[in-house]
Structure 1
């Protein structure tokens, strides 16, 4: 009789404690946008803050991209010998004027900030670029 009473009291004690809580997973964190900076690409596939020069019209055959400096265009296959290898189109996404000079140091043409052309074949004589 004592064993039955102890067993009954034990069951009553467990009932008083209640059903053990079921473990639940924490809610998944909310999705957030990536904070990786992606450069903007504009006209002719030229990135933001770059000058891009193309050997072909309509922004084809990009040969050169830069944020600034002084460059010999023959290094990039954009010199005037022969004429068909010169700068045939361009995009200037920089805040600077790009100036082109001939082999004697005389400025022959320039590109304003934000300027672009799908066919710059009317301009010629470029040998050096200063941006």
Structure 2
């Protein structure tokens, strides 16, 4: 157990750190750019076409291709496997912006990311290079 003097020192250290270091929840410039890109895509590409896909039941291949070209698919794949290596927060910014446009189309775009986690967590190095790298180059289901 820590002595009273050690606890007092830890408390003083923490409060002096809090005074010297401001905490910010603002997005970085890069995060703002990621969010703006995804939101622009949602507003300009997804929203105008969403009802068409809802009514026809067609899969939005053209939107998926455009999203892939913009780097909005599989953003969490690490750089060493050819991906952008985005953080969970950055990926969440993309998901949120795309879902603003249409949750169904957002799932078509981000759904393949669900296949990334098992390979990244349980795959050997050869499998990671093969499949994660391939996911960065193209989407598995794109015709």
Q: TM-score category by the smaller chain?
A: under 0.3
Scaled by the length of structure 2, the TM-score of the pair is: 0.20
Question: TM-score normalised to the size of structure 1?
Answer: 0.21
Highest relative contact order (Cα 8 Å, sep 6+), 1 or 2? Answer: 2
